[in-house]
A and B are shown apart, each in its own frame.
Chain A
Amino acid sequence: MDAQVVQILQLTLNGISIGSIYALVALGIVLTYKATEVLNFAYGDILMMSAFIGWGLIVVAGIPFWPAALITILIAALLGYVLDRHVMRTIVGQPQFAGVMLTIALAFMLRGLVSMGFGPTSRSYPTPWTGHITHIGPIVVTDLNLVILAAALIVTALLFLFLRYTQLGVAIQASSQNQLAAYLCGIRVKRLNSFVWALTAAMAAVAGLLLAPIALVDISLWFVVLKGLAALVLGGFGSIPGAILGGLLIGLIEQFAGVYLPDGAKEMSAQLILIAVLILWPRGLLGEAHGRRV
């Protein structure tokens, strides 16, 4: 096959794989935003912290990958619950700005705690798939990328089923439509918000555990939240399918920009997309149809 075509296919696969992590991040942020009306700037730091916890469990404590991943996810979920229950709940009813500031404060605290606990060096941990390679025709894929893709698909599918078919999921949907109305229908909105935080923190842990083996366990992992925001905006703010689509597109655009565009385009593309979409086309790709001021 033509080398050019192979390269394009290769980039597409890499882009989809990294994009599915962005999609997971965006999904977590949009779920928190829809259900609790708080844009969670600390999401990247929860993700980063779970990567460090995963490293600690696998490398320091010597626990095998699967149980360690499970424990990390549970710890992250607990962290999310506690953060909402004891911190975010104190500012219910205050303007949106207070929520932004409080999540930024939480982000700083988590970042400070992680760098106090683990130090500034970056590290990595082994996974069952590290170093394995699969050949699909002429394309060479690391198994890790395939696992990331599969995990993202599974998480998304589970989330879809949960939101669609369980009572709790429907309650989350109701609360994200109108909190007061949901409360009047007997939904315990505050407790539900804490649950949503736990759920999204667990998703952050999954994304963090997947991202760390390809990016290194490092403080700068939190930057992925900015990619997530770009994905959200591109897909249409507040839309769950949009978050997934946006994440995949941002991943693809980054991969292709890194090869076909001048130096630096890869780093800047997500930010450029965010600004351009918000100014020119605030609804995004799959934004909600009814009028909403951004």
Chain B
Amino acid sequence: MRFAYDTSYSDAQQLLRYRSQWFCYGALAMALILAPWLLPAYYVGELSYLFIVCIASLALMVLTGFTGQVSLGHAAFMAIGAYTHTLLLDQGIGFIPSILGAATLTGFVGLIIGLPAIRVSGLYLAMVTLAYAMLTEQIIGRWKDVTGGFTGIPVSPPSLFGYDLSSLKGFYFLCLVILVAVLLGLINLMRGRTGRAFIGVRDSEAAAATLGIWVGGYKVLAFVISAFVTGIAGALLAHHLQFLTPDGFSVMLSMELVLMVVIGGLGSLRGAIFGAVLIGMLPTLISKIKPLLPTSISSQFGLETFVFGLILALFVMFEPNGLNGRWLKLKILFENFPLYRRNTFRRGKTYMHSERYR
């Protein structure tokens, strides 16, 4: 067991407090830096995709996990980011201004979509965002002059300060750097005043308002931050896909993002990463396992959908805290090894309480 013993304020502010943490995260960083040279090319591309998905998942975690607002329409934010970025690049604008512009526009759309969140919450907000995502998909498909309609448009390769980043390794490091930047930014935002206000709004709007938190403002702010970061992820995804069609940003993608957040464990950024890695790798894993299954099952079309559903159902039923909750339990098991008590995490008995009349 470790107990925090702070001798100055800066001790409490450090992200990595113990030597073991420095060691673990250092090893992880080294592994990620060396990975492009050690892994086959296919997996390098897959890892870049995982990083992009992690960014989107982190963005949704801010909204759903920290502020408690369910969005079933985050694919639309990704689509807006991707299309804006592509169109700005085609205008001859540099990579950094273009990606920031795309993120800003997405953030602005997030502001507009977030405004209803002041009035509607819970289930109703989920429905509004779902409808908004389907509308966006339709609009992109029909606005042929700008978006190329359902036939799609090609994405120009990324280049930064004259360096071409379209190679596998170049794109890998581009995604990695942006992921780390987003992660550090969100960690600091979430442990600061804003993040604590978000958590307050999530846990009890009435209590938050009593403490002087501007509930409506913070709800919209969560939408804006989330949309901004999702826009960045969308812009990167555009480069990964290299060709944009509205089908790439369907309801299924929104659902996958929600899946990542729930499976990872609501209310923790680490969970968002865990969930994104698991769900992002799942299609590859399934395609690896397929040859082992009898052909009558493996040749079928809907196996992936079924496995997604099964994993989500098992997590909701048996581990509501997600992968992050499981991780914390494992950590405590190892930290105080012989003294671990199962009851530490026993879920208390709960009673049905209606959420209709709040």
Contact = CB atoms under 8 A, between A and B. Distances in A.
A108 B312 contact: yes
A282 B119 contact: yes
Nearest to A263: B142
Contact of B302 (A37, A91, A116): A116
A113 B356 contact: no
A237 interface: yes
A179 interface: yes
A264 interface: yes
B268 to A, nearest CB: 16
B123 A96 contact: yes
B67 to A, nearest CB: 13
Interface in B107-157: 116, 119-124, 126-128, 130-132, 134-135, 138-139, 142
A190 B124 CA distance: 25
Contacts of B139: 268
Contacts of B307: 112
A79 B126 CA distance: 26
B116 A279 contact: yes
A104 interface: yes
Contacts of A264: 138, 142
Interface stretch (A4-12, A245-253, A270-278): A270-278
Contacts of B304: 112
A121 B62 CA distance: 39
Contact of B303 (A94, A116, A275): A116
Contact of B301 (A97, A119, A263, A267): A119
Nearest to B116: A279
A113 B70 CA distance: 27
A292 interface: yes
Interface stretch (B29-37, B224-232, B313-321): B313-321
B128 A275 contact: yes
B297 interface: yes
Interface stretch (B84-92, B213-221, B238-246, B347-355): B347-355
Contacts of B355: 37, 95-96
Given A264-B138, A278-B116, A282-B119, A229 B305 contact: no
A87 interface: yes
A233 interface: yes
A96 B122 contact: yes
Contacts of A270: 131
B316 A226 contact: no
Q: How large is the interface on B (under 10, 10 to 19, 20 to 34, 35 or more residues)?
A: 35 or more
B204 to A, nearest CB: 13
B300 interface: yes
Interface residue SS majority, chain A = helix
A102 B358 contact: no
A179 B124 contact: no
B288 to A, nearest CB: 18
A91 B317 contact: yes
A192 interface: no
Contacts of B356: 37, 238, 292
Nearest to A237: B124
Given A94-B350, A112-B303, A106 B313 contact: yes
A139 interface: no
Contacts of B357: 291-293
A212 interface: no
Contact of A102 (B313, B350, B351): B313
A92 interface: yes
B310 A91 contact: no
* 4 nearest A-B residue pairs (beta carbon): A112-B306, A108-B309, A115-B302, A109-B309
12 contacts: A37-B356, A39-B123, A91-B317, A96-B355, A97-B70, A105-B310, A109-B309, A116-B302, A119-B301, A268-B139, A274-B131, A292-B357
Given A112-B304, A278-B124, 13 more contacts: A37-B355, A39-B123, A91-B317, A98-B320, A104-B258, A104-B309, A106-B309, A109-B306, A112-B302, A120-B301, A271-B134, A278-B119, A291-B357
